[in-house]
A and B are shown apart, each in its own frame.
Chain A
Amino acid sequence: MAKSNKPIFWGLFAAGGTVTAFVIPALALVTLFAAMRFNMDMFTYEAIHAFAAHWLGKLIIFGVILLSLWHAAHRLRVTLHDFGVRADTVVAYAVYGLASLGTLMTIIYLLRI
């Protein structure tokens, strides 16, 4: 039987969907609170830097950002098709290119913290 790398990508896509569904709404609520100055003690540089400086924090940040980023990028490709954009190759290069850029930035930033 021919080997296919599809299961790996589908697995990552499913993981991305799961992370997005379970984590992002609550995270958006937290950043909304931060944006609305709900509590001035939250979202301090020291607290978040301490979280991101720990290897486990780095791993969580890396996992959440990367999985939702690539999941959303793939869905964006399909959504653009649904909106009548038929230049799939160009769209694929654009969305996956942006996701690659985001991945690179995430890795560089995490290494610098």
Chain B
Amino acid sequence: MGEEMSRKPYVREVSKTTWFLRQPRYQRYMAREVTCIFIFAYTFLLICALGSLANGPDAFQGFLNALRSPLGVLFNLAVLVVTAYHSATWFNVTPQAMPIQRGEEFVPGNVIVGAHYGAWAVVSLIILIWGI
């Protein structure tokens, strides 16, 4: 009915699939969006590792061999780069996403960002010490 009433309908000539290429801001948004594909795939890698662990030492060795293939190394490298980007871009906007008010004043943004980076470093260090 809307189309019948309007003689000159407003048509947005924006592609549904390539709209984000128009602006660097949209490209950065999309770059962050696609990180979820890697994170999703990585959780399944973890589940595969868990499955091989449940199936005994031979199965686990099979998983390790697959992990040590060039594709495995490349995938892990990609996941590392992409998830680090995902985390850093999230921590950088935490003052806007969750501002903390103390009395009349808001806690300065760099304090919130710094606290997140600090916690990130501590958590990462614990995981690295545990893992290596």
Contacts and interface: CB of A to CB of B under 8 A. Distances in A.
Contacts of B51: 105, 109
Interface of B: 15-17, 20, 30, 33-34, 36-37, 39-40, 42-47, 50-51, 53-54, 57, 60-61, 64, 67-68, 72-73, 76-77, 79-80, 83-84, 86-87, 90-91, 119-120, 123-125, 127-128, 131-132
Interface of A: 17, 20-39, 42-43, 45, 48-49, 52, 61, 64-65, 68-69, 71-73, 75-76, 78-79, 82-84, 86, 95, 98, 102, 105-106, 108-110, 112-113
Contacts of A24: 39, 42, 79, 83, 87
B40 A72 contact: yes
Contact of B131 (A30, A78, A86, A98): A30
A112 B59 CA distance: 14
A48 B90 contact: no
Given A45-B61, A83-B17, A105-B47, A31 B67 contact: yes
A108 B51 CA distance: 9
Nearest to B122: A22
Given A84-B17, A86-B16, A68 B39 contact: yes
Contacts, number: 150
Nearest to B41: A72
Contacts of A17: 90
Contacts of B87: 20-22, 24-25
A37 B76 CA distance: 13
Contacts of A64: 46
A105 B47 CA distance: 7
A112 B54 contact: yes
Contacts of B76: 28, 31-32, 35
Nearest to A33: B132
